[in-house]
Structure 1
């Protein structure tokens, strides 16, 4: 597993490849609705894992370390499915972040000098 950050386009490519393998292995047909449904499903799973980590849901005899690992994995699932959703909808997430969020940073300059 790489420890150095990868550019977002490379992450999108790799996540899409893993998703393609999974869909092929389990004969999953992915249409436009599937991408949003999976994003919603993963958000619910992240919320459930977070509730367990904060003691607001039953977690059986799972250790705090196991619960934290579940939370991290669900966050990764949500992020991966957001990337897949954006790819499916032809959303340039990096550009959208720049347009929506980074404009508020004083050091962010959109002008080429």
Structure 2
């Protein structure tokens, strides 16, 4: 259970830091962040990650970018998606570490069939 507490603290700290950045952005552009906004941002960021990956893998236009630039774009879009996932969880008061424990990590302690 100590691992879960450590993971919760790490995710919570990241979520708090990301929320501060999001607060700055929302204030600067007068954005009201409600349930729908958070969910739509997840979809938007997943689409941008998809596009960046397609470009990197040669299945989309590279727009004259080098492979390193395309790889960086994938990394940045993944960071955006992860940040917005944590923002959504924070907005909905979801402890993502606990949710992972009950949904995924419970299989780590079970014996294979």
TM-score category (smaller protein): 0.7 to 0.9
Superposition TM-score, scaled by structure 1 size: 0.87
In the alignment, structure 2 segments of 5+ residues that lack a partner are 1-8
Cα offset, 1:32, TM superposition: 1.2
Measured against aligned partners, the alpha-carbon deviations of 1:19-66 in whole angstroms (never above 9, x if no partner) come to: 000000111111111000001100000000010110000112100000
In the alignment, structure 1 segments of 5+ residues that lack a partner are 1-5, 108-113
Q: Name the CA distance, whole Å, in 1 between partners of 2:92 and 2:63.
A: 39
Query: For 2:34, which of 31, 35, 51 is the aligned residue?
Result: 31
Q: Does 1:44 align with 2:50?
A: no
Q: Please name the residue that 1:77 is paired with.
A: 80
Greater RCO, 1 or 2 (C-alpha within 8 Å, sep 6+): 2
Q: Name the CA distance, whole Å, in 1 between partners of 2:65 and 2:28.
A: 30
Query: For 1:22, which of 17, 22, 25 is the aligned residue?
Result: 25
Runs of 4+ aligned structure 1 residues displaced above 6 Å come to: none
Q: Name the CA distance, whole Å, in 2 between partners of 1:47 and 1:62.
A: 16
Superposition TM-score, scaled by structure 2 size: 0.87
Q: Please name the residue that 1:86 is paired with.
A: 89
> Pairwise CA RMSD of aligned residues?
1.2
Q: Which one has the bigger helix percentage?
A: 2
Query: For 1:58, which of 58, 61, 84 is the aligned residue?
Result: 61
Number of equivalent positions = 102
